[in-house]
């Protein structure tokens, strides 16, 4: 019995250190880009957490920066779908949408095969939300 209590206390003392690693913060950057209009790109900074999804980082950015707003729709089959950024929405009739790109810390621009609800950013990546056509 005493051994079980000591083991429980030891685990409780170790738990904060073990759990802290799961919530380590790291910087990421979000750039909005409009390939349809001649508007300047805007870059925002926020943070990601260990194994956290991009959607969480975008919500933190929206909560901390009044100049950044976004909306999304939850699709039952494909998850969150980015609808609008800073008031500009994709439009089926005009064949426009918000494309998700990522500039890695090595400088390579990639198109993830997942969306904002599944993409897991890495430290110092630049997330590019590009308004473009299909």
Domain with residue 28: its CATH number is: 2.170.130.30
Q: Can you give the pLDDT at residue 37?
A: 87
Structure tokens at 9: 């206390």
- pLDDT-based confidence at residue 22 (cuts at 50, 70, 90): low
- Give strand pairing partners of 31: 43, 128
Domain count, the chain: 1
Residue 11 has pLDDT above 60, yes or no: no
Mean pLDDT (the chain, rounded): 88
**The pLDDT of residue 64 is above 70:** yes
| Cα–Cα distance, 90 to 80 (Å, whole number) | 14
Rounded Cα–Cα distance for residues 41 and 129 (Å): 10
Q: What CA–CA distances, in Å, run from 120 to 33, 41, 44, 117, 125?
A: 21, 23, 18, 9, 10
Q: What is the mean pLDDT of residues 81-86?
A: 96
**Residue 3 belongs to some domain of the structure:** no
């Amino acid at each position: 019995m005493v051994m079980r209590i000591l083991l429980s206390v030891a685990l409780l003392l170790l738990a904060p250190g073990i759990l802290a690693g799961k919530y380590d913060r790291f910087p990421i950057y979000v750039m909005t880009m409009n390939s349809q209009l001649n508007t300047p790109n805007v870059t925002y900074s926020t943070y990601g957490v260990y194994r956290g999804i991009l959607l969480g980082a975008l919500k933190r950015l929206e909560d901390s920066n009044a100049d950044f707003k976004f909306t999304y729709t939850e699709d039952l089959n494909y998850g969150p779908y980015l609808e609008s950024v800073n008031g500009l929405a994709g439009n089926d009739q005009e064949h426009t949408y918000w494309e998700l790109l990522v500039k890695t810390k090595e400088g390579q621009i990639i198109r993830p095969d997942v969306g904002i609800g599944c993409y897991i950013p890495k430290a110092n990546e630049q997330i590019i939300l590009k308004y473009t056509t299909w």
